[in-house]
Structure 1
Amino acid sequence: MTTAPLVRLAHDRGVAVLTLDSPHNRNALSARLMDQLSDGLTAAAAEPGTRAVLLTHTGGTFCAGADLREAGAAAGPGRLVDLLRLIAGTPTPVVAAVHGHARAGGLGLIAACDIAVAGPAATFAFTEARLGLAPAVISLPVLARADPRAVGRYFLTGETFGPAEAIAMGLVTAPAEALDTILDGLRAGSPQGLAESKALTAERLRGALDERGAAVVEVSARLFASAEAAEGMRAFLEKRKPSWTP
């Protein structure tokens, strides 16, 4: 029996379109999805005619963050750092198009991309603190792109916010109606011009991943292994409040 791919690759006039297509778990960052996304990014960047990669999704959720049913997997945080490093390091610009919900690790994907647009149905939340966790790994791309003071509120409270707030803090670049103009601009760029321009804009993020990647992987693994996180994730899967909720 053939297993359907979780990430689909298509081409549109110099743009490689990578579509997250794992609706059964809201495009959560399972090991298989991250591996397929990494393979897709590598394949797209290797195509001589590719001027940009567009990362989008099926269904009402862009990415729900970590797959909590795989949360005990020790390699998970390290695999996510490697994926973020690949997005930041590939010479081809990567554009995220978010038309649904993004949670936790999904916001890390958005921040790692060079450009991100969001439609009116998009919502965002850093939900980790409510699960006994912290946005350790994804703090590297998020804090490299967005205003730390604005982000701090949402790291701590787990509140849901919309596209306007995401644009204001720098997590998202523009509303979704700007996507065609952005892609046309990238199609007009030369491979060398795009690669060297991206190197400038992604330098801070690449440096953060190189300098602090191992440390945040350690923090993330420690938190996922804790009793408090186990209770938080169990409560989430059972659709109940965790034991520490007043």
Structure 2
Amino acid sequence: MTGHVTAAHERGVTTLALDAPGSRNALSAGLVAEVSDALADCAKDRAVRAVVLTHTGSTFSAGADLKAPPSPYAFVSLLRQIVELPKPVVARVTGHVRAGGLGLLAACDVAVAGPEADFALTEVRIGVAPAMISLTLLPRLEPRAAARYYLTGERFDAAEAARIGLVTQAADDVDAALAPVLDGMRRASPRGLAEAKKLVTARVLETFERDAEDLVQRSASLFASAEAREGMTAFLERRDPVWVL
């Protein structure tokens, strides 16, 4: 593959790497489209038993690309595509994850994060809120932790991410931790995996059916607000927005 996503295949596992380190793997329209196309190819390929979603560079994803964002519907569609893919999607995280990147991570079935990983829901600091990514985050996160990190934008580490349900495991050696997970998936039947995934994702998909349109509209309204314009301008200018006390 070319562009912002690279692919490699080994023993039934296709690894898709977000490969736009110059933009910290920000979720641009182009990157979202490429990930979606790659997942569609994996869904059709009988040789693919599982998908690993990872990254190049020191950042898994910095969240939405403020200069070239995807449409809200395209991003929600990608989140749902990961959840509905008839093959497990496993996140391998060895770097920073911010904002929309956490929604991508939460859409995955299994996630393992290394000691270099850290996380933050930074939306409130630029005048918006984690609206669309709530579709995948809120069914997984411990409620008190969700409230804290939604409201403060604080950074937290891999151990905390595991404690609150964002990732499956924090590990000193991510690849060693993933080895038995991927071996188990290689030993599973394709139909067994697909049907088992339906069971564990049913509650997440209920949120899409119930809330997706409302959250898309809410996100669009927030991003069109004066506060968001100030917040995004301040971010790009590397200064505090006017509301910081």
Do the two structures share a fold, i.e. TM-score over 0.5? yes
> Counterpart of 1:143?
138
What's the RMSD between the two structures over aligned residues?
A: 1.2
SS at match of 1:69: coil
User: Which amino acid counterpart does residue 161 of structure 1 have in structure 2?
Assistant: F
> Counterpart of 2:7?
9
The Cα offsets for residues 122-170 of structure 1, whole Å up to 9 and x where unpaired, read as 0000000000000000011001112122111000000000000000001
Q: Does 2:208 correspond to 1:209? A: yes
Q: Does 2:31 correspond to 1:33? A: yes
TM-score (norm 2): 0.96
Of 64, 67, 80, the residue aligned with 2:75 is 80
User: Which amino acid counterpart does residue 190 of structure 2 have in structure 1?
Assistant: P
Shift of 1:4: 4.7
User: Which amino acid counterpart does residue 135 of structure 2 have in structure 1?
Assistant: L
The Cα offsets for residues 99-126 of structure 1, whole Å up to 9 and x where unpaired, read as 0000000000000000000010000000
The Cα offsets for residues 177-217 of structure 1, whole Å up to 9 and x where unpaired, read as 41111111111110011000000001111111121111100
> Counterpart of 2:94?
99
User: Which amino acid counterpart does residue 55 of structure 1 have in structure 2?
Assistant: L
Equivalent residue runs for 1:159-174 within 5 Å: 159-174=154-169
Aligned length: 241
Name which of structure 1's ranges 101-110 and 176-185 shifts more when overlaid on structure 2. 176-185
Q: Does 2:46 correspond to 1:48? A: yes
Distance 2:156 2:21 in 1: 22
User: Which amino acid counterpart does residue 204 of structure 2 have in structure 1?
Assistant: L
Distance 2:100 2:149 in 1: 14
Distance 1:218 1:115 in 2: 29
SS at match of 1:215: helix
Equivalent residue runs for 1:109-188 within 5 Å: 109-175=104-170, 176=174, 177-188=176-187
TM-score (norm 1): 0.96
Identical aligned residues as a percent: 55
User: Which amino acid counterpart does residue 243 of structure 1 have in structure 2?
Assistant: V
The Cα offsets for residues 69-127 of structure 1, whole Å up to 9 and x where unpaired, read as 135xxx62211110001000111000000100000000000000000000100000000
Distance 2:24 2:209 in 1: 30
Over 2 Å off, 4+ runs: none
Structure 1: where are the runs of 5+ without partners? none
